[in-house]
Chains A and B, each alone.
Chain A
Amino acid sequence: DQQVKQNSPSLSVQEGRISILNCDYTNSMFDYFLWYKKYPAEGPTFLISISSIKDKNEDGRFTVFLNKSAKHLSLHIVPSQPGDSAVYFCRPPIQGAQKLVFGQGTRLTINP
């Protein structure tokens, strides 16, 4: 049972434009979410998180929006830069002893 789903396996965006990566979840009890970024041959690195008490969290060029009624979150990158080309994962918190998995990830490619 996949608790988070990233329906777009890939996204291509022009440099300087806005990149929007989407993530849907099923469990309304999740109280925060985390986004990770992964380059090839490297481990994922934490990027940004959002608590369910907020609907927006901004960190530089990265902003994450949370729509609790729709069980949907999105990561906005603006302006997009070539170095942003990577795979992005969203994930909910650990729930007790259950080991959760990342979503499928979205491969973002920034074109010059």
Chain B
Amino acid sequence: DAGVIQSPRHEVTEMGQEVTLRCKPISGHNSLFWYRQTMMRGLELLIYFNNNVPIDDSGMPEDRFSAKMPNASFSTLKIQPSEPRDSAVYFCASRESGELFFGEGSRLTVL
């Protein structure tokens, strides 16, 4: 298995633009997590899906952020409009029951 796959690996955009980050979890994993990592706040849980259903989105910082999981093999995290303070590395992770497997992250820079 290729592991958790995230795209793009790097994204540089201008403030106000829409950003869409994508994640393909490990096949068979029924839980998917989106995290954001910054120097100031460390690793923050943004949202968590179980069987494609959003369970806990309390970490989503504000309405500009939205996440979807239309099927078991794909999820998106969208920021619209993006702001410079959204610059961070965004991680996707999946699990079946036990260890959490992380993707390699998407580094977002908003100018």
The residues of A with any CB-CB pair to B shorter than 8 Å are 32, 34, 36, 41-46, 59-60, 91, 93-94, 99-101
Q: Is the interface of B mostly helix, strand, loop or mixed?
A: strand
> Closest residue of chain B to A46, judged by CB?
B48
- Whether B58 and A43, one on each chain, are in contact in the complex, defined by CB atoms closer than 8 angstroms, is no
- Whether A94 and B56, one on each chain, are in contact in the complex, defined by CB atoms closer than 8 angstroms, is yes
- Whether A45 and B100, one on each chain, are in contact in the complex, defined by CB atoms closer than 8 angstroms, is yes
The residues of B with any CB-CB pair to A shorter than 8 Å are 33, 35, 37, 41-45, 48, 55-59, 97-98, 100
Contacts of B98 in A (CB 8 A): 59-60
- 5 interchain pairs (CB within 8 A)? A43-B41, A44-B45, A60-B98, A100-B58, A101-B58
Partner among B33, B44, B57 whose Cβ is within 8 Å of the Cβ of A46: B33
Contacts of B37 in A (CB 8 A): 43
> Closest residue of chain B to A36, judged by CB?
B45
- Whether B97 and A43, one on each chain, are in contact in the complex, defined by CB atoms closer than 8 angstroms, is no
Smallest CB–CB gap between B109 and chain A, Å?
20
* A36, B48: Cα distance in complex, Å: 12
